Amino acid sequence: MKRVLIKFSIALALLAVAYLPTLRWMYERWVEAESYYGHGFLIPLISVYVVWQRRSALKKIAVSGSMVGLYIIAACLMVHIVCAALKVYFISGFTFVIALYGLILFFFGKEMTKNLIFPIFFLYAMIPLPLVLVGNLTVKLKLFAAQISTLLLNWVGFPSIRDGSVIRMPGSFIEVAAPCSGLRSIISLLTLGLIFAYAMKISFVKKAILFLSSIPIAIATNVMRIMAVAIVNDLYGGKVAMGTFHDVTGYAVFVVAFLLLLGVSRTLEGNRGQVKDEI
């Protein structure tokens, strides 16, 4: 087993070298200003942690490599070469995860790979969406968030109208900019929802409900933040609303979203109150 692990580590290092342009692209997207994937660094660590938590069960599995894995790696490398040449790194990133799957299959066999499905494919959460798609989603989400916020502001007694992504009130206005579209919250909560869904001892349907509930929770909490900023801006001015209050509500929204997601998970779990011993 130790010799197999050494060979696997060397092969993994070589695979990383082959995918270096793609890995560099991911890193740059993770660290860029106003990144939607600032959590990207955590994804591989979570996958490694899941594997480490299951180490006792994995040691009991007989190692029996499969040549199918080699074919998968070869196919992924061919696609990667084309994508890297064309700088289509999003697709290349997807092939990296599949190539890793093939690598594990080649060295450790079907049974081991089957038991590592989640930590392998969870790595997809670290691959940034294409900028074109991010741009389109951002525009649609910020317009939607502005529309819903305007309706609710009128409902609670703060007259307002929407002008594009700008919410105008009698004595003030705010613009729902790209960072406030809610896309960052959706991406982060979907990742968190996936972890929750995997960890809970519930049916597959309930896992899907829990995972997908991340989207409305992220949208709802983002609308709450926009409304709060708009109200404070109207009552106390932009200096107060767009200062510390704006920053604090950004963190508070994620805390509220996390608690709501936790509440959904507990509701779906019912009275069992259990999670997997090993996530």
pLDDT digits (tens, 9 = 90+) for 115-144: 999 999 999 999 999 989 988 999 999 999
**What pLDDT, on a 0 to 100 scale, did the predictor assign at position 272?**
52
pLDDT digits (tens, 9 = 90+) for 46-96: 999 999 998 888 888 888 888 999 999 999 999 999 999 999 999 999 999
Q: How far is CA 121 from the centre of its chain?
A: 12
**What pLDDT, on a 0 to 100 scale, did the predictor assign at position 239?**
82
Phi (first) and psi of residue 175, to 5 degrees: -110, 130
pLDDT digits (tens, 9 = 90+) for 33-50: 878 888 899 999 999 999
Q: What is the largest CA-CA distance in the chain?
A: 72
**What pLDDT, on a 0 to 100 scale, did the predictor assign at position 77?**
95
- Examine the pLDDT at 277 and tell me if it is beyond 50: no
Q: Find tokens 């790194």 and name the residue.
A: 89
How many Cβ atoms sit within 10 Å of the Cβ of residue 28?
Answer: 12
Residue type, 199: A
How far is residue 232 from each of residues 178, 185, 257, measured CA to CA in Å? Answer: 20, 22, 21
Residue 33 DSSP class: T
Per-position b or e across 174-190, b if 16+ CB within 10 A of its CB: bebebebbbbbbbbbbe
- Cα–Cα distance between 60 and 58 in angstroms, integer? 5
Q: pLDDT confidence of 274, banded at 50, 70, 90? A: very low
- Examine the pLDDT at 273 and tell me if it is beyond 80: no
pLDDT digits (tens, 9 = 90+) for 16-28: 999 999 999 999 9
Concatenated DSSP letters of 103-116: HHHHHH-HHHHHHT
How many Cβ atoms sit within 10 Å of the Cβ of residue 37?
Answer: 22
Q: pLDDT confidence of 114, banded at 50, 70, 90? A: very high
**Is-contact 186 165, C-beta < 8 A?**
no
Helix (H, G, I), strand (E, B) or coil at 221: helix
pLDDT digits (tens, 9 = 90+) for 157-198: 899 999 888 999 888 888 888 878 888 889 989 999 999 888
- Examine the pLDDT at 276 and tell me if it is beyond 50: no
